[in-house]
Amino acid sequence: LPQFLGFFGGSRFIPIVSSLAAIIIGSFFYLIWPPIQNGLVIAGEQIAQMGSLGTFLYGFLLRLTGA
């Protein structure tokens, strides 16, 4: 680090960089998550309307993910 940023070196550097990275990643997910959530809701509603096939599909996907 340059001399004027030397105060932020060492043990203070990681929390500062982590905080900045968390803000950037949080902003990214704030923008990208609503369409993903909407897709998951639509998929869940479709599976719920499938009847027995939906029950099988739900159980299959549950086992496939290991949940």
**Each residue of 23-66: pLDDT tens digit?**
999 999 999 999 999 999 999 999 999 999 999 999 999 999 98
pTM: 0.63
Distance (Å, whole) CA 25 – CA 19: 10
Q: What six digits make up the tokens of 29?
A: 């997910």
For residues 47 and 32, give the distance between their C-alpha atoms in angstroms, rounded to a whole number: 24
Alpha-carbon distance of 9 to 23, in angstroms, equals 20
What amino acid occupies position 12? R
Q: Which tokens is 55 given? A: 């029950």
> Cβ distance 8 to 16 under 8 Å?
yes
The domains of the chain are located at 35-67
